[in-house]
């Protein structure tokens, strides 16, 4: 099972701690981590997954596998820039968004458009006029809860 972990390439120490814990919980539950392969949340999630013996996939925006963070097992070089966000979320059965900026928001939008469940941990909350509920992002109370929800959505 592949779960995407998305978030900023630059993040606070607390956000990195949360992402690392998410990655670790995913690996403990035999789920592979796919992400954008760079720093920040992506690196922390991969580091957490590797610490628990997990497998990590990094979908890189540039043209070199050397751009991947040191915890990526399988670097996928795209040369697509931010367009690689679609590949990241499309490859996953569910998505965990940890904090994040506009790149994360675009990944959330692509996932929701594709019908891929999104679990949020300190991330965007979307609303729309005329809708009674938040638009598609399930809020998690912490890293373990985020992983449990993501795995449940993914069918495990």
Hey, is 32 helix, strand or coil? Answer: strand
Strands (DSSP E) along the chain, which ranges? 2-6, 32-35, 56-60, 74-77, 94-98, 118-121, 137-139
What pLDDT shows up at residue 130?
73
What's the mean per-residue pLDDT of the chain? 95
State mean pLDDT over 72-100: 97
Q: Tell me: the pLDDT tens digits for 36-76?
A: 999 999 999 999 999 999 999 999 999 999 999 999 999 99
Q: Tell me: the pLDDT tens digits for 117-135?
A: 999 999 998 887 776 666 7
Full-model pTM: 0.96
**Domains plus CATH for the chain?**
2-153 (3.40.50.450)
């Amino acid at each position: 099972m592949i779960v995407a972990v998305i978030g900023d390439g630059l993040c606070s120490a607390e956000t990195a701690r949360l992402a690392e814990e998410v990655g670790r919980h995913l690996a403990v539950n035999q789920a592979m981590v796919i992400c954008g392969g760079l720093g920040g949340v992506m690196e922390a999630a991969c580091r957490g997954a590797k610490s628990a013996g997990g497998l990590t996939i990094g979908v890189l925006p540039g043209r070199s596998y050397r751009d991947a963070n040191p915890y990526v097992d399988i670097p996928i070089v795209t040369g697509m820039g931010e367009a690689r966000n679609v590949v990241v979320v499309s490859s996953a059965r569910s998505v965990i968004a940890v904090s994040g900026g506009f790149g994360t928001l675009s990944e959330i939008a692509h996932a929701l458009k594709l019908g891929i469940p999104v679990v949020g941990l300190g991330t965007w909350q979307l609303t729309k006029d005329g809708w009674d509920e938040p638009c598609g992002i399930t809020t998690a109370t912490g890293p373990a809860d985020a992983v449990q929800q993501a795995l449940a959505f993914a069918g495990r």
